Amino acid sequence: MSEVARADRATRDAVLAVEAERRRALLAADLDALDALFDDALVHIHAPGVRHDKAMLLEHVATRQAYLDTERGELDIRVIGDVAIATGAIRNRLRNPDGTERTLTGVVTQVLRHGEDGRWRFVHFQMTPDGEQVWGALPSQQAAQGGADS
């Protein structure tokens, strides 16, 4: 069984490049690029819980063209065999059906598989939107932050 490990520099750089291309392609509604980046087994779960497979996500991008901007925070990338798991903050500026805009922030988990052709492809994406933090930081988190409760 493969161990879970932090991505080495080459893997980290490759995954970050694929994520940068995904963001570029979403904003440009570049369906050919997205098709190449998404594994045929893709499961994409949007912030409100809407689940799309690859074909549905490509249709969503083509017909809605909702993505106006997307920014990522620092990504934690772990590797298990030929699979990479990237987690980190995201900020999306989106177009609403009525033409207005909204900004959605949260944390994303992305799973990528390294194919036999040497390319990384997304097999899973799930966003959890930011919400009310009723408990605050754990004691260990407070100690690491110098006692601040966040």
- To the question of pTM greater than 0.75 for the whole model, the response is yes
| Residue 36 identity | A
CA distance 53 to 90: 21
Q: Please name which of 123, 122, 125, 124 lies closest in space to residue 106, comparing C-alpha atoms.
A: 125
Domains for the chain: give ranges and CATH numbers: 4-131 (3.10.450.50)
pLDDT digits (tens, 9 = 90+) for 51-109: 999 999 999 999 999 999 999 999 999 999 999 999 999 999 999 999 999 999 999 99
